[in-house]
Amino acid sequence: MATASLGAERRSETGKGVARKLRAAGRIPAVVYGHNRAAEALTVDARELERLLGHISAASTVVELGLGGGTARTLIREIQRHPVKRTILHVDFQELVAGERVTVSVPLVFVGTAPGVREQGGIFEEVLRELSISADPSSIPNHIDVDISKLTIGHPIHVRDLQLPSGATALTDGDATVCSVAGSKSAASDADAAATAEPEVIRQKKAEE
């Protein structure tokens, strides 16, 4: 389970005008909520948040929010960005409770070399890059490995074929394709040419035959 730390400050004022002033001062409006707590308005440092997002997977990293003298273990649930400038406008954090399962999107990491590419000349195709799972906060994986060392043309890997961490349950349809190897265009063209070409005459029949 990947974790990261981020400082936060409580705020009592809300509204668009307040949010604009906070951003001008280098702070980002935020909110933290959870099953057993009311939503609480916060602010976080804009530069610190951007640096954090630059090296974590926001969807599956547990962020420990420093609030005064305490810490709240959270997941980032929503990041609102300016439609043009792409600067962060607002962030939603969900507080985690031990034993209470959460839904997260975990990156997929493809491991090995597919025989369908190395030996059959096919083209490797990634269909899914992340997987939606349900898991306890204490067992959220950093990523899920996908073994492609036996992947051949015409035999894709499906979600049901993946080895998930103990206690994790896939929420994506089990029949969904994770990756596959497609035949290359050159190989297909060669096959078509072979099928349509006239057979070569090896020996002409004798006239008397």
The pLDDT tens digits of the residues spanning 134-154 come to 998 888 888 999 999 999 999
Fold adopted by 103-195: RNA Polymerase Alpha Subunit; Chain A, domain 2 (2.170.120)
- The residue to which tokens 């997941």 are assigned: 75
| Start and end residues for every CATH 2.40.240.10 domain found in the chain | 3-97
Question: What's the rounded Cα separation, in Å, for the pair 90 and 94?
Answer: 14
Q: pTM of the predicted model, to two decimals?
A: 0.72
Q: Superfamily for 3-97?
A: Ribosomal Protein L25; Chain P (2.40.240.10)
Pinpoint the residues of the chain covered by CATH 2.170.120.20. Answer: 103-195
pLDDT confidence band for 2 (50 / 70 / 90): confident
pLDDT grade, residue 185 (50/70/90)?
low
Whether residue 106 is predicted with pLDDT greater than 50 in this model: the reply is yes
